[in-house]
Structure 1
Amino acid sequence: MDPRSVAKYIEDAEHLQMAHRLYTLIFPLDRQANRVLLGMKKRGFGKNKYNGFGGKVEAHETIAAGAMRELHEESGLSARSLDKHGILFFYFEGDSVAMEVHVYVTGEYAGRAVETDEMRPEWFDMDGMPFEKMWADDPEWWPMVLEGKRFVGRFWFKNDMVTITRREVAPVDSLEFSG
């Protein structure tokens, strides 16, 4: 297992045996205007859904560095700081690899959001998220982001990548783990 993974602190024995891939998700916030920047995914996994910015963590980088890189690649923004809010695990029916997604927000960034080959950025009111055009799990943990809570979630999806068959989401005191 990737030494950067926190799965060994969270997963049960059955799911710990699965391969895990590390991903990031980052949400730029404009707290003064009460809005969040989302991107409409234009290709690949999650196409035609709004989401935060993110993707795979490269072998040579920290998880936080991966989040910052993905934000810049997908939106043109450069995060100056990150605040980790959650860790999500996703299991898709018939897939032997679990997704371990580290969720961040940033209120400190530079640049101007621009459309890229992968994402079309758009600002939304933080209380008016377009959940009908997002992943089905998002409404279950986004309120904790708004409340400033930390959380861990696990979601099991059917092959259709829409239907959630099982869910576990809970606030946690800390996202710092150690052996």
Structure 2
Amino acid sequence: MSFISSPVDWTTWTPVIPATLMFIVKDGRILLIEKKRGLGAGKINGPGGKIDAGETPLESVMRETQEELCVLPINPRKLGELWFSMGDIPDILCHVYRADDFTGTPTETEEAVPLWYSLQSIPYQRMWEDDIHWLPLLLEDKTFLGKFVFEGDSMQWSHVETGVAW
């Protein structure tokens, strides 16, 4: 979709909501969640959420993963950023992390149902439309910056850069 010019001037774009996502990849599988409430309820994604005041992105992603799945990622590393111009909700800057191990037992909570998928059967059709553009990069352990324009649940424009230094 990035062959048309962006409807957003990314040089002056200012996110309103700082957020995080965590993807735990282990033994050829990925730990995802089915969101039970909030933005993206009913969709499949990684655990994550808004960064609280005074929190770093890493502190936030650890807290959110613990709250949503009752597990703690081991040695998480930031692989990407997602910039979302959302149209009907405030713009979001999402820090994306990957971990290859965790402690605890994935457990259903009020916010999420844990779901394991093989890396060959990720349910992109139940995820946000942008995920197929950058999640394969995370699975390849590549860094990325994704910029996306949405109207509701519909992606209108996208651009993904790889090899970004964090």
TM-score when normalising by structure 1 = 0.84
Which residue of the partner structure matches residue 4 of structure 1?
A: none
Note the C-alpha offset of 1:142: 1.1
Q: In the comparison of the two structures, how many residue pairs are matched?
A: 157
1:14-29 paired onto structure 2 within 5 Å: 15-16=13-14, 19-29=15-25
CA distance in 1, matches of 2:40, 2:88: 17
The structure whose RCO (Cα within 8 Å, separation 6+) is larger is 2
Gaps of 5+ in 2: 1-9
Distance 2:139 2:23 in 1: 11
Deviations 1:92-138 (Å, cap 9, x if unpaired)?
Answer: 1244x310000001112100000000100010011211001000000
Instruction: Give the structure with the higher percent strand.
Output: 2
Moved over 6 A (4+): none
Q: Mind listing any 5+ residue stretches in structure 1 that lack a counterpart? A: 1-10
Instruction: Give, in whole Å, the separation in 1 of the partners of 2:158 and 2:72.
Output: 33
AA at the equivalent of 1:164? M
Percent identity of equivalent pairs: 34
Residue 92 of structure 1 pairs with residue 63 of structure 2: no
Letter in 2 for 1:12: T
Secondary structure of the residue aligned to 1:149 is: coil
Q: Which residue of 1 aligns with 2:44?
A: 50
TM-score normalised over the length of structure 2: 0.90
Q: In 2, Cα distance between the equivalents of 1:174 and 1:130?
A: 29
Residue identity in the other structure for 2:24: P
Equivalent residue for 2:4?
none
Partner of 1:165: 156
Residue of 81, 89, 95 corresponding to 1:102: 95
Most deviating of 113-122 and 76-85: 76-85
What one-letter code is carried by the residue in structure 2 that aligns with 1:133?
R
Q: Structure 1: how far apart are the matches of 2:16 and 2:143?
A: 21
